[in-house]
Chain A
Amino acid sequence: MNNELLTYTLRIADNSLILGQRMSEWCSKGPTLEEDIALSNISLDLFGQANGFYSYASQLDGNKSPDDLAFLRNEREFFNQQIVELENIDFGNTIVRNFLYDSYNFLFYSSLKNSKDDTLSALASKSLKEVKYHLRHSKNWLIRLGDGTEFSKEKVQKSLESIWQYTHDMFSMDEIDNKMYRLNIGVNNSNLKVEWDRIINETLIEAKLVRPKDGYNAKGGKNGMHTEHLGFLLAEMQFLQRAYPNAKW
């Protein structure tokens, strides 16, 4: 059970860390000063959430520190969903990805806070408070960009079409998910789909955007299968600990 709980916890931690790292890339490059601050703050929240889940994973593991887990694993040992590792590309694309993921993340933590595992439940309740305003941020921007100029509308519609294939895996259930759900520890992801669809459909109508048709389903992130983007992200994030092991400052 402990091994499965460890993997389950790492999946949550990895989602937060990798999206946090992506958001940190906006620091000093935001389209306006307010957005620079907003995205950097969201990044900090996500790093903090990741740290909470890594600390728990470290306890379960008994051997590796939270830093070891973040900085000394390779691509195939990361269990985050592929949607969080996708490149930012531009502000609109970042907003689309974040909105699709934040909507899921909000529902996921809303459910995980009822976990029978006290630590996961506490971390979920804490994270949920922050994810609520992350969702508000990405949702409001999506509406402004979708219902904005012809140019902004075209850009975010295109991003929506290209990111859509990565949304299906948020609702998949594998052996570990099923076991954690049966033990009342984990979330039944497939149950989140109805509510997610409602949030997405309502917002897309308000943003005057068209919901893409379901097609190819990019999957496997939770089992260590990733896009080519993750390796580059890790190379930058892990460089210092790899080049100067145990460096501290």
Chain B
Amino acid sequence: MQSGKIKEIWKLLDSVPDPEIPVISVVELGVVRNISFTNNAYQILITPTYSGCPAVKTFIDDIKSCLKTNKIFNFDIKIIYAPAWTTDWMSVETKEKLRKYGISPPSNKVVCPQCNSSNTVLVSEFGATACKSFHKCSECLEPFEHFKCI
């Protein structure tokens, strides 16, 4: 019965969007590491993306309110640091969602999300959020953000 409920919680959390990039969910982002049931409560393990990412607090609050809205009150959220979050955990489908949204997905080869050219230049290793760097396409001349590999 609990394992069925655990599956349901995974599904619920998959509906909680990343506060900065709403086209992907916190599950797709890879920050929900495990859900188990002990001591009469669901234990949800979360790992931060970047140490100082302000979105972390927001998505934890969003997870809490999503569960409460769905009448689940017996849960604990614990933050873990190991293994450290990596963009390797993103699936091909998730990366495609990012590209369609206009963000060049994490890859060793930076590709323009508009015209798919790999003829691009780095403008700055730092972008509007900790997870993104700033680039310019030399083909279509559009500026774009790249989700950094980490």
B81 touches A122 (CB 8 A): yes
Cα distance, A43 to B50, chains bound together (Å)? 12
User: Which residue of B48, B54, B123, B125 contacts A137 across the interface (Cβ within 8 Å)?
Assistant: B125
**What chain A residues lie within 8 Å of B124 (beta carbons)?**
34, 37-38
Number of residues in B with C-beta < 8 Å to the partner? 21
Q: Which residue of B lies closest to A123 (CB)?
A: B81
B125 touches A38 (CB 8 A): yes
Q: Is the interface of B mostly helix, strand, loop or mixed?
A: loop
Contact A48 to B82, CB < 8 A, known contacts A34-B134, A37-B127, A133-B125: no
Provide the A96-120 mask, 1 if CB < 8 A to any CB of B, else 0: 0000000000000000000000110
- Shortest Cβ distance from B45 into chain A, in angstroms? 13
Provide the A134-156 mask, 1 if CB < 8 A to any CB of B, else 0: 00110000000000000000000
Interface size class of A (residues with CB under 8 A): 20 to 34
Q: Within 8 Å of chain A (Cβ to Cβ): is B51? A: yes
Cα distance, A47 to B50, chains bound together (Å)? 11
Provide the A195-220 mask, 1 if CB < 8 A to any CB of B, else 0: 00000000000000000000000000
Q: Is the interface of A mostly helix, strand, loop or mixed?
A: helix
A34 touches B126 (CB 8 A): yes
Cα distance, A17 to B54, chains bound together (Å)? 16
**What chain A residues lie within 8 Å of B150 (beta carbons)?**
129
Provide the A29-71 mask, 1 if CB < 8 A to any CB of B, else 0: 0000010011001111111110110000000000000000000
**What chain B residues lie within 8 Å of A127 (beta carbons)?**
51
User: Which residue of B50, B51, B82 contacts A118 across the interface (Cβ within 8 Å)?
Assistant: B82
Q: Within 8 Å of chain A (Cβ to Cβ): is B52? A: yes
B130 touches A44 (CB 8 A): yes
A51 touches B51 (CB 8 A): yes
B52 touches A34 (CB 8 A): no
A52 touches B81 (CB 8 A): yes
B126 touches A130 (CB 8 A): no
A130 touches B51 (CB 8 A): yes
**What chain A residues lie within 8 Å of B92 (beta carbons)?**
none
B50 touches A48 (CB 8 A): yes
Q: Within 8 Å of chain B (Cβ to Cβ): is A242? A: no
Cα distance, A197 to B82, chains bound together (Å)? 31
**What chain A residues lie within 8 Å of B54 (beta carbons)?**
44
B126 touches A45 (CB 8 A): no
Q: Which residue of A lies closest to B54 (CB)?
A: A44
For chain B residues 104-150, which have a beta carbon within 8 Å of chain A? 123-128, 130, 134, 150
- Shortest Cβ distance from B147 into chain A, in angstroms? 14
Q: Which residue of A lies closest to B150 (CB)?
A: A129
Contact A49 to B81, CB < 8 A, known contacts A37-B127, A41-B126, A136-B125: no
A contact residues vs B (CB 8 Å cutoff): 34, 37-38, 41-49, 51-52, 118-119, 121-123, 125-127, 129-130, 133, 136-137
Between-chain CB contacts (< 8 Å), 20 pairs? A34-B126, A37-B128, A41-B126, A44-B130, A45-B52, A45-B130, A47-B52, A48-B51, A52-B81, A118-B82, A119-B81, A121-B82, A122-B82, A123-B81, A126-B81, A126-B82, A126-B84, A127-B51, A130-B50, A136-B125
B contact residues vs A (CB 8 Å cutoff): 48, 50-54, 80-85, 123-128, 130, 134, 150
